[in-house]
Amino acid sequence: MAGGGFGSGPGTGKAYPGNLNGYVTFTCIVAAMGGLIFGYDIGISGGVTSMDSFLEKFFHSVYRKKNADTSTNQYCKFDSVPLTLFTSSLYLAALFSSLVASYVTRKLGRRLSMLLGGLLFCAGALLNAFARDVAMLIVGRILLGFGVGFANQSVPLYLSEMAPYKYRGALNIMFQLSITIGILVANVLNYFFAKITWGWRLSLGGAVIPALFIIIGSLFLPETPNSLIERGNHDVAKERLKKIRGLDNVDEEFNDLVEASEASRKVEHPWRNMLQRKYRPQLTMAIMIPFFQQFTGINVIMFYAPVLFNTIGFGDDASLVSAAVTGAVNVLATLVSIYYVDKLGRRFLFLEGGIQMFICQVVVAICIGVKFGVNGYAGELPKWYAFVVVLFICIYVAAFAWSWGPLGWLVPSEIFPLEIRSAAQSINVGVNMIFTFIIGQVFLMMLCRMKFGLFLFFAFFVVVMTLAVYFFLPETKNIPIEEMVVVWKEHWYWNRFMKGVDFPGKTAPSEVEMGIGGEGGHKNV
Ligand code: BGC
């Protein structure tokens, strides 16, 4: 099959002892809560920007268009550059701070990055809660963005380093789960706070709570053994590893960590290194996966669901309830992926999710197009019609939540070889943030210009990304990270870049040991 079947890898390679004990589970749950701040942000801005009291105070022209000026095309009533800047400035700030954070995380430890993330986020939340003008709002959003950059850079790394390798997939998706919980909590709070005149202050200020989680968590969480080794504390690191694995003898894993740390220290220019031909598949994926994740159009729903529902004729209350419903679907469907990701594999979820998203986008485009035409009209939708639109948006969100949502973070984190891992991960986060920013910034303008065609625009990208996965992404389920190179070597397209490339890590088995090319060879592509 072109690009890879659904077969799993050989399951060979090192099998360090150690299971999921209470200590490491608790530690990872606390750390994964770092995702809450990212999620809270994503979920809160849409509801706030549809609250009349907020618009009246800061974005008066939008407020006028929304409530009084019926001559304005329905699709365009929220089209305002400062308003979109309010939402999307955060992601630009996150892009820059994740680059700074990679230095702090490496040199000063994962916990310090998490702590800084929490503190910056807390400061931004307070500034927003007490905002008197647009400038205070935007500066607050930028501080929130700095916080998100630090947290998103350090939390997934922390989880991967603490987790026993067999549970890395599930623990990685816990980060995405807490993102979705953050979004849902924000949606629900918006619903209640919208009823209070200064409710937007509560919504924005509520971000202090998830910030406190990460601040307090980072003060008490243990540092990872990898980070301790990286900074020369070998003895403490060994004791820590014994505790998190629940074993007295961790020599094999410990020695490998020391070796890995030394090997990665030798690579002086990981950024330049990454341009070498042999890293072309990984570099392509580091750019392609986050780019496509954002071009599913998910953040149109996450940022602007209440605005969107309002645009297509829902009342204010109904818009916020519908947004909360999509938020709940997002959380539940993420649980599905935690269960299935290691059973059905990444490719299956990617392809199924893509087809499901495409169908929903076309249906929603037709529904909105038929009712509103190209000019839009401001009447209420019949109940059953509104129900169909919300239903298909929910089915679309579920598809994203068990495919591109978690896999958009999981797959990049497992395909990079150690010597370029941190640099490639920065590219992944950076590309994600820049396109989150772009979508956040241009969506309302696109809705105004492209109308229902906007949904077809994203549907087009979903087709392209599904084909790209089908042809170019090999299956990575059940393949130890150090052996990942084999999936590229056996791939019908990427193998041409891998000629003469052996396993980069000293600890990886050779091809002969794995039986590749011989009788025992597995064909996972
Ligand atoms: C994406 C976000 C998105 C969220 C929705 C994440 O994986 O990176 O952009 O808003 O999922 O749950």
Mutate to test the pocket of ligand 1, among 153, 176, 437 (most ligand atoms within 8 A of CB): 176
Q: How far from 330 is each of 321, 338, 397, 432, CA to CA, in Å?
A: 14, 13, 6, 19
pLDDT 10s digits, 139-196:
999 999 999 988 987 888 788 788 887 787 788 889 999 999 999 999 899 889 988 9
Model pLDDT, residue 55: 87
Per-residue pLDDT for 213 more than 90?
A: yes
Give the contacts of 343 (CB within 8 A, at least 6 positions apart).
none
Concatenated DSSP letters of 23-80: HHHHHHHHHHTTHHHHHHHHHHHHHHTT-HHHHHHH-HHHHHHHHT-TTS-GGGTT--
The number of the ligand 1 atom at minimal distance from the alpha carbon of 176 is 7
**Distance between CA atoms of residues 346 and 484, nearest Å:** 14
SS (H, E, C) 112-140: HHHHHHHHHHHHHHHHHHCCCCHHHHHHH
| Helix locations, 341-417, DSSP H | 346-372, 383-401, 404-415
- Most confident range (mean pLDDT) of 148-152, 271-275, 444-448, 483-487 is 148-152
The number of the ligand 1 atom at minimal distance from the alpha carbon of 180 is 12
| Residue closest to 289 by CA, chosen among 95, 463, 488, 432 | 432
Percentage of the residues of the chain whose pLDDT score is greater than 90 = 37
pTM comes to 0.84
Choice between 150 and 481, residue whose per-residue pLDDT is larger:
150
pLDDT 10s digits, 334-390:
999 988 988 898 999 999 999 999 999 999 889 888 876 655 554 566 778 778 888
Distance 178 CA to ligand 1 centre (A): 11
Model pLDDT, residue 292: 97
The number of the ligand 1 atom at minimal distance from the alpha carbon of 406 is 7
Q: At what angle do helices 404-415 and 346-372 cross, to 10 degrees?
A: 140
Length in residues, the chain: 525
381 in the Ramachandran plot: left (φ > 0), alpha (ψ -120 to 50) or beta? beta
Choice between 109 and 473, residue whose per-residue pLDDT is larger:
473
Tokens of 226: 């990898």
Q: What is the mean pLDDT of the chain?
A: 82
Determine what percent of the chain falls in helix, strand and coil, rounding each to the nearest 5: 75, 0, 25
Per-residue pLDDT for 288 more than 80?
A: yes
For ligand 1, is residue 179 a contact (CB within 6 Å)? yes
Confidence band for 392, pLDDT divided at 50, 70 and 90? very high
Model pLDDT, residue 414: 82
Model pLDDT, residue 86: 82
Spatial contact of 455 and 490, defined as CB atoms under 8 Å apart: no
Q: CB-based burial of residue 232 (10 Å sphere; 0-12 exposed, 13-18 middle, 19+ buried)?
A: exposed
For ligand 1, is residue 176 a contact (CB within 6 Å)? yes
pLDDT 10s digits, 234-264:
999 999 989 888 888 888 888 877 877 787 7
Considering the segment(s) 22-221+296-412+419-451 as one domain, its CATH architecture is Up-down Bundle (1.20)
pLDDT 10s digits, 293-350:
999 999 888 877 776 777 666 777 777 777 788 999 999 999 999 889 888 989 999 9
Choice between 316 and 277, residue whose per-residue pLDDT is larger:
277
Confidence band for 507, pLDDT divided at 50, 70 and 90? very low
Mutate to test the pocket of ligand 1, among 37, 293, 411 (most ligand atoms within 8 A of CB): 293
The residue whose CA has the least distance to atom 8 of ligand 1 is: 405
Per-residue pLDDT for 5 more than 60?
A: no
**Distance between CA atoms of residues 256 and 274, nearest Å:** 23
Q: What angle do CA 176, 182, 188 make, to 5 degrees?
A: 140
Model pLDDT, residue 502: 65
The number of the ligand 1 atom at minimal distance from the alpha carbon of 303 is 10
Distance of CA 218 to the CA centre of its chain: 21
The number of the ligand 1 atom at minimal distance from the alpha carbon of 183 is 12
Confidence band for 125, pLDDT divided at 50, 70 and 90? very high
The number of the ligand 1 atom at minimal distance from the alpha carbon of 330 is 12
Model pLDDT, residue 381: 65
* DSSP three-state, residue 4: coil
Range scoring the smallest mean pLDDT among 1-15, 29-43, 215-229, 425-439:
1-15
Model pLDDT, residue 15: 65
Distance 257 CA to ligand 1 centre (A): 31
SS (H, E, C) 178-222: HHHHHHHHHHHHHHHHCCCCCHHHHHHHCCHHHHHHHHHHHHHCC
For ligand 1, is residue 436 a contact (CB within 6 Å)? yes
Phi and psi torsions of 515, nearest 5°: 75, 20
Mutate to test the pocket of ligand 1, among 36, 41, 42 (most ligand atoms within 8 A of CB): 42
Per-residue pLDDT for 75 more than 80?
A: no
